[in-house]
């Protein structure tokens, strides 16, 4: 079996790791990959957003299946392009990848499907934004409509933060074309959770739940990031709550997209706020979450590839998806300066020592090889994931791995899974 994984982050390393674990004989390729994927696959020097380059390589090398990791190539139509070339690829086509590519489109689908979400106003100018903020009140949330690498959301708790967000969106144009339209959204209170689901156009199979940590610093302080860690399962996502999310959120959206003639195939990710009035959608993503994937896939005890193929073939109802009952915790290690500017090319040590620990796996995100060294090559550098008999043990195992790894300027949160631990105590 020849498989191509598109992307170069921790999510893609986790996908490749799971595929390799399920079938060590499979021939894996990653485009462009990182230092971690290089240990189990052949890295191909083609950027994930280079759709023509990826299609040309696939036509020549004929992978049996391709798994698309990041949102950018999905929103650019890489699955459409592969299908037109007669190549099998996992993920939604461009029309349905808009569930992540345009927050305004996702809101339109939610309204049509009567899915609970926050009130919002779509604006194009600072004056319109100020009018909407006056209507919704502070605290308030501002979101760039388009893709912004997980950084286009500002949760504004006071007027000072509102002014900073307005400056980023409209004056400094920090998010470029992604903020041509901006959603001014009602602030929701509650506990956040992430529910990802396999979808085959009609059938929805939720994956194990997870909870992400978006803020840079302990205690959920500091700026939003692409994710500082995650754990699975999220205790707040009980079996009853998961059933509610499937019935009131996931299935209605899938049914609405199918009704419009654009059935959704792939992974659909719902970012949720569990409010006192029930779950409400914060966002949809059109792919595996990152770093949620690094906490979820180590718990998947059934093979990954058949489930991915079933999503595309429309046979998901006949595909078993089974889970290791042990929780998993992923701690993200970042470069100094992240999520703003940061250096690259800094040597990383201790990776082998961390990987030798029981129930610990180190997923590479922003890494590269330089001769015999592994060096930093991004803001989020590594995801150290561990399983445990309970959440406390999983947390301890993960941090046991973290302290083995060293690079100048390394940062990480010391309280990943704190909500789960608070529930236990």
Structure tokens at 25: 């004989």
What CATH architecture applies to the domain 2-94? 3-Layer(aba) Sandwich (3.40)
CA atoms within 13 A on the CB side of 96: 27
Burial class (CB in 10 A: 0-12, 13-18, 19+), 184: buried
Return residue ranges of the chain for CATH 3.30.470.20. 191-318
- Residue 423's pLDDT is 85
For each of the chain's 425 residues, which pLDDT tens digit applies? Answer: 999 999 999 999 999 999 999 999 999 999 999 999 999 999 999 999 999 999 999 999 999 999 999 999 999 999 999 999 999 999 999 999 999 999 999 999 999 999 999 999 999 999 999 999 999 999 999 999 988 876 788 899 999 999 999 999 998 898 998 889 999 999 999 988 899 999 999 999 999 999 999 999 999 999 888 899 999 999 999 999 999 999 999 999 999 999 999 999 999 999 999 999 999 999 999 999 999 999 999 999 999 999 999 999 999 999 999 999 999 999 999 999 999 999 999 999 999 999 999 999 999 999 999 999 999 999 999 999 999 999 999 999 999 999 999 999 999 999 999 999 998 87
**pLDDT (0 to 100) of residue 280:** 96
Contact 351, 381 (CB under 8 A): no
As given in the structure block, the two tokens for residue 2 are 């020849």
Q: Which residues contact 207 (CB under 8 A, 6 or more apart)?
A: 195, 196, 197, 198, 267, 296, 300, 321
Cα–Cα distance between 380 and 289 in angstroms, integer?
14
Q: How many H-runs (helices) and E-runs (strands) does the chain carry?
A: 15, 22
Six-digit token string for 221: 């302080």
Report yes or no: 38 and 101 within 8 Å, Cβ to Cβ: no
Secondary structure of residue 403 in the 3-state scheme: coil
**In sequence order, what are the beta bridge partners of 284?**
270
Boundaries of CATH 3.90.600.10 in the chain? 328-424
Distance CA 336, CA 323 (A): 36
| 120 half-sphere exposure, CB direction, 13 A CA radius | 28
Q: How far is the C-alpha of 267 from the C-alpha of 113, rounded, in Å?
A: 19
CA–CA gap between residue 371 and residue 365 (Å, rounded): 19
Q: How is the beta sheet containing 204-206 ordered, strand by strand? A: 204-206, 191-200, 265-275, 278-285
Instruction: Tell me the fold of 121-186.
Output: Dna Ligase; domain 1 (3.30.1490)
- What pLDDT does residue 142 have? 94
State how far the Cα of 364 lies from the Cα of 375, in Å rounded to an integer.
11
Multiple choice CATH, 328-424, 3.50.50.60, 3.90.600.10, 1.10.1660.10, 3.30.450.20: 3.90.600.10
The answer to whether 280 touches 117, Cβ cutoff 8 Å, is yes
CB 412 within 8 A of CB 228: yes
Q: What φ, ψ does residue 354 adopt, rounded to 5°?
A: -65, -40
CATH 3.30.1490.20 positions along the chain are 121-186
CATH superfamily membership of 191-318: ATP-grasp fold, B domain (3.30.470.20)
List helix spans (H) across 78-232. 78-84, 94-101, 103-113, 126-136, 159-166
The DSSP 8-state label assigned to residue 203 in this structure reads -
Residue 306 parent element (H or E): helix 304-313
pTM of the model: 0.94
Query: At a CB cut-off of 8 Å and minimum separation 6, what does 20 contact?
Result: 26, 28, 40, 41
Distance from C-alpha of 131 to C-alpha of 123, rounded to nearest angstrom: 9
């Amino acid at each position: 079996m020849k498989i191509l994984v598109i992307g170069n982050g921790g999510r893609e390393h986790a996908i490749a790791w799971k595929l390799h674990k399920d079938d060590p004989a499979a021939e894996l390729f990653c485009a462009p990959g990182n230092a971690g994927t290089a240990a189990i696959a052949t890295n191909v020097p083609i950027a994930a957003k280079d759709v023509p380059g990826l299609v040309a390589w696939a036509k020549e090398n004929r992978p049996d299946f391709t798994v698309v990791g990041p949102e950018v190539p999905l929103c650019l139509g890489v699955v459409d392009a592969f299908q037109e070339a007669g190549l099998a690829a996992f993920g939604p086509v461009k029309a349905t990848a808009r569930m992540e590519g345009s927050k305004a489109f996702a809101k339109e689908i939610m309204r049509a499907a009567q899915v609970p979400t926050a009130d919002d106003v779509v604006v194009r100018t600072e004056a319109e934004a100020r009018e909407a903020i006056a209507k919704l009140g502070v605290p308030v949330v501002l979101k760039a409509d388009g893709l912004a690498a997980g950084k286009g959301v500002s949760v504004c708790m006071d007027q000072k933060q509102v002014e900073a967000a307005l400056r980023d969106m409209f004056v400094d144009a920090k998010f470029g074309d992604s903020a041509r339209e901006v959603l001014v959204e009602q602030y929701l209170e509650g506990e956040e959770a992430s529910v990802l689901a396999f979808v085959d156009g009609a059938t929805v199979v939720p994956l194990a739940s997870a909870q992400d940590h978006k803020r840079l610093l302990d205690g959920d302080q500091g700026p939003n990031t692409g994710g500082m860690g995650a754990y699975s399962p999220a205790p707040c996502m009980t079996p009853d709550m998961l059933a509610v999310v499937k019935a009131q959120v996931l299935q209605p959206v899938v049914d609405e997209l199918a009704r419009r003639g654009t059935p959704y195939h792939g992974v659909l990710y719902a970012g949720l706020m569990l409010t006192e009035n029930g779950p409400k959608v914060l966002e949809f993503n059109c792919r595996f979450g990152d770093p949620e994937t690094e906490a979820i896939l180590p718990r998947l005890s059934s093979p990954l590839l058949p489930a991915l193929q079933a999503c595309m073939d429309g046979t998901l109802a006949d595909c078993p998806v089974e889970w290791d009952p042990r929780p998993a915790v992923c701690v993200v290690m970042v470069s100094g300066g992240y999520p703003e500017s940061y250096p690259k090319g800094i040597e990383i040590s201790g990776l082998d020592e961390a990987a030798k620990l029981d129930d610990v796996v180190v997923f590479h995100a922003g890494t590269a090889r330089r001769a015999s060294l592994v060096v930093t090559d991004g803001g989020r550098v590594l995801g150290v994931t561990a399983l445990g008999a309970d959440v406390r043990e999983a947390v301890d195992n993960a941090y046991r791995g973290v302290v083995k790894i060293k690079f100048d300027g390394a940062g990480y949160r010391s309280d990943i899974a704190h909500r789960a631990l608070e529930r236990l105590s």
